[in-house]
Structures are given as structure tokens and as C-alpha cells.
Amino acid sequence: MTSVSVDADPAGRSPRAGRRVPLSWIGVVPFLAYVGLFLLLPTALVVIQAFGTPEGQPTLANVRALGESYVLTAFWRSIQLSFATAAIGAVLGAVLAYIVVQGPADGIVRRTVTAAAGVLAQFGGVTLAMAFMVSVGNQGVVTLLLRDVGVNASGGWLYELSGLMVVYLYFQVPLMVLVFLPALDGVKPQWREATESLGGSGWAYWRHVAFPLLTPPFLGAFLLLFANAFAAYATAAALISQGGIIIPLQIRAAMTSETVLGQENVAKALALGMVVVVAVAMALYSWMQRRSSKWLQ
Amino acid sequence: MAAVTSELTKTPERREQRPGGLRARSARRARLLRSLLLIPFGLFFAVPLLALLEFSTRAGDLYGARTLDYWKAIGDNPDLLKALRDSLLLALITSVVALALLVPTMVWVRLRLPKMQRLVEFLCLLPLTIPALVLVVGLGPIYLWIAYFTPSAYDSSPLVLAFAYVVLVMPFMYRSLDAGLQAIDVRTLSEAARSLGASWFTVMVRVILPNVISAVLNASLLSVALVLGEFTVASLLNYNNLQVAINLQAQASVGVSVALAAACLMFVFVLLFALSFIGRRRPARVGAPAAEEK
């Protein structure tokens, strides 16, 4: 666009401007090339090869594999896991954030909790799996201590869906604290005072002011947590080394199985299914966030 | 934002100063209740971490003698040491490449291509929506090509993972750098430097970079933490990094891998705590004029 108008200029009037147009494009080329090669191309490969055979022929067989009962079961378990940890994580995280907000803004409690939440929300993978194995696994510290007091606790539940739920809460709750604290900070004390001066009780304040205002950011945070749990792989993979009880582990199984020919493109179909779920949750999240930013700033 | 926080801090103080026991007593009771509620949270988050430490310093199980053998054994294990070295190198390469890619692009877009700013932001934040697991599925064919072109001396070196890791750290880097660049007046600074005859390289390295150094540090520390903890991409592409090695080692000796996991966890904790202090002290002298301009 601009180059056209520059070319139309009488020659020699602004030689610098003439040089600048191609130069300014060159500035973003390395970035675009990198992103194109290592972000957009792999994503496109997932989408395209999900509908193709390893030889490149178009097929619907991979996508049809999504309808197989073991895949549907894994999807259902993944959704259960993400929904439960997002719901529990959102409630517990909101409670924790509320406790923190009640204290002084520069107090030790708030600073410790925010710093710890920032660290723990990123914490996952092998180390987290290991931390839970050595605390509540079969030979874990807590299991052995409980056995000493006579409670016969076995650590087998840790390697099932219920175990994953507890482990996932370890990063879901801190993430909720991080996401929800700014929303709680946006609730102005003047609103409470206004309610009181109009004769409203504490209940009226919560029912008509705070709760309606905090609902969109709460739902938004819930969606973010859902996507976060749905996409998580490392923790589950380190905890459960065989099989595919949830979709991420199904993808691992499909990627590593070399015995079944043509299976690698099933992994792409599964990945496509996953990215659709995550993208829908994230899109709803950003929509919610835009809605709530009107009031809570 | 700042105004809101100062309001929040002032209001309770005023209430406490008010004479009359009723309000003060209920405030004290509320504070006690809050502290009591914090205890279960604290326990849930502290127990696994403490168990990690406890487990790695006991011979055998819980009833064994206290020992540092597992920690010492890390140094005797060449596989673990190599993985640790590779992961540290990866962290360094990833941070440097990501910074070299993002800082000039973001400055350039601000100065010359403001229309592209939305696109660059979208692309930088896109990895938040595309899970690493999905990315790794698509990266498989690309890494076959990378392996094909790798000189045989570096065959199966995990350092090529840096290509993928740069993408993974991009969202965090972008946010941190964006905040840093927003706090300074990029246009005036670079125009002043350019009019004094500085080259673009000088503008980047000697004018812009020193002014956003805390944002750059912040971004690099986050990347280091992320790369040191990365497992998904490495394990599924069959490269051996720190987390993959820890996971493998767990099958041979749980104690040693727990000790190493605890060690690198502590390292990352220190990094991230350091980060929370860097973010705290923003250079006020640079921020002030930009704020006035708005």
C-alpha cells in the first residue's frame, strides 16, 4: 500500500522514504520466519495430517478413530479431570485470594502467598509427580506416618484419576489465586460503603453488588483452569508411565506405538481434538475477561 | 491500579483506629479466622515439598538414618551431570535466542510498523492456546529434518530443542518485555540516538536495552525456569534433558532422582523469588516521564 504512494512521489523528493519502506518490512522477517517455521507450520501439520495417511493421501480414518470407544472414554475422563480440578481449584483459589485481599496490601501474608502462587502455578511435571509419590505414594512419608498411627493407607489411588485430581490441584489453586487476585483488588471498598449508606446489609452487598460483579471473572478463571488442566501432559506422564487413561496419555501412546502402522497420524487427530477443546475454552475466557474489565480495573 | 491498592490499605487502618471495642474485636476475630483458614492451604502445599527433602536425606525409607548420600551420588552420575549441563546450556541458548528475536522485533514494530503490533502480540501469545503437547506432535516431522541436517558430531544432542523452547517461552517473554517497553519512551530515545548518529545496533544495545534491563532479566529468569522444568517436548521427541534424565533415573534409584529433583526445584524457586524482587523495583526515573505523557 505505502510503497505505491511512495513510487508515485516525484523521484528524488524523499529518497530516504523510498528506502525505508522495504527496510521496515525486513525488520519483522526474522520473527515471522521463526514463528512460521516453529509455531504455525507444526500447528498446520497437525491439522493437515490429521486428515491424511502417512503417505499423504487424504483420509478420514484418523478422525474416525476419535469415535472409538477407548478414545471417547479417555476424552470423557480428561473432561472430568479438567472440570473437577477447575471447579475445586477455582473455589479454593478464590477463598485463598479472598483471605489474602482482606489483609494489608503490603503485608507478609499477601507477599508470601503471591510469590508462592507465582512459583507453584508453574510447577509441574516430573518433580511434582515425584513430590506426591514420596509423600502419599506406597512408600511415601505421609503414608508411612499414617501407618504408624494405625491408618492403613495405600498409595495406589495416586496412579488413578483420583490421584491426578489431587496432584493437579497443586498447580490449579495457585493459578486461580494469580488470576483472581486482580479481580478482587478491583472491588472498591466504596461500593460496600455505598450499600451500607443506602441501608443494605452485608448480605445485600454480596447478593447485589460483589457477587454479580465477580461472577464473570470467576467463570473466566474457571475456563482458564479448565484449559490448563486439559492441556497438561508432563505431570500425568511422569506419574502414570503406561496406558492412556486421559487424552494426553493417549497421544503419547499413539506417538510412541511403532507396532501399529499408520498410528502416528492418529496422534495428530487426537491432538486436533485437544486443541479444539482448549481453543474453545480459551476463547470463552478472553471474552469473559473483556466483559469483566469494564468494571473491575 | 496503584490508587486502588492504596485505598484498600488505608481503609482498614482508619477503622482500627476508631475507638470502641466492638469493631476492633470483630476485626481481631476475623483476622484469627483468616489465619486458621490459611493453615490447611499451607499444609497442602508444604507437605509434598517437605516430603521431597525428607525422602532424599534418609537412607532406605522413613526409618533410616539421616544421610546426604543421595545428594552426593548426583555428582558421581555422568548421565545426570550431562543432562544437567545440557539443560543449563539449553536455558542459556533459549533465553539469548528469544531475546535476540523479540527485543528488536518489538522495538521495530513500535517505531516503524505500528499496524503490525497486534499481529506480533497475537503470534507471541498464541503458544498459550496451543498446548505444548499439540506442538510436539506437529514438530515431529520438522525435527526429523533437523536431525537430518545436524552434523554427525552433534547427533542426538538435546541442544536442538532450543528451536522449540524459544516458541514455548515467547508468551512469557513478550508480556515481560511489553511491560518494560511500555514504561519507557522508545520513540524519543531512539530518535535522539539516531539523530546523534547512532546505528540501529547501537540504539538497541546501548540505548533501549539498558533502559529495559529489569524486564529483560525478568523474561530471562522465567525462560530459564521454564526450560529447566521442561519435560513434554524433550521426552516425546526422544531427547535427553534434565527432566527426562530424572524420570529415567527414578527407575534405577528413587533417592538420587528425588535429590536431584529437589535440588533443581530449589534452584528454580530461588530464581523465581529473585524475579519477584526484580519486578518490585521499577526504575522510577524512566517511568515517570512516560506516565506524564499519557
Which residue of chain B comes nearest to A146, CA vs CA?
A: B62
Please compute the mean of the pLDDT values over residues A247-262 and round it to a whole number.
Answer: 77
φ/ψ of residue A252, rounded to 5: -60, -45
The packing angle between helices A247-256 and B132-149, to 10°, is 20
Alpha helices in chain B (DSSP H): 2-17, 21-56, 69-76, 78-111, 117-125, 132-149, 162-182, 186-195, 200-202, 209-211, 213-228, 232-236, 242-252, 254-280, 284-293
Higher pLDDT among residues A151 and A164, named by residue = A164
Q: Mean pLDDT in chain A?
A: 83
Nearest to B131 by CA among A243, A228, A235, A77: A228
The whole-number pLDDT of residue B292 equals 33
d(CA B74, CA B32): 45
Which residue of chain A comes nearest to B238, CA vs CA?
A: A256
Torsion of CA B167, B171, B173, B179, to 10 degrees: 160
φ/ψ of residue A58, rounded to 5: -70, 140
**Is A118 near chain B, with CB under 8 Å?**
yes
**Chain B partners of A144 at a C-beta cutoff of 8 Å?**
61-63
Q: Is A232 helix (H, G, I), strand (E, B) or coil?
A: coil
Q: Which residues 6+ apart lie within 8 Å of B24 measured at CB?
A: B16, B18
In tens, the pLDDT along A192-206 reads 888 888 888 778 888
Lookup: cell for B252: 534405577
In tens, the pLDDT along B139-191 reads 988 988 888 888 877 777 888 899 999 999 999 999 999 999 988 888 899 88
φ/ψ of residue B283, rounded to 5: -65, 105
**Is B269 near chain A, with CB under 8 Å?**
yes
**Chain B partners of A106 at a C-beta cutoff of 8 Å?**
9
ipTM of the complex model: 0.81
**Angle, CA B246 vertex, CA B236 and CA A171 arms, to 5°:** 75
The reported pTM is 0.82
**Chain B partners of A141 at a C-beta cutoff of 8 Å?**
50-51, 54-55, 62
Question: Residue A168 is inside which H or E element, if any?
Answer: helix A161-185
The packing angle between helices A108-120 and B254-280, to 10°, is 130
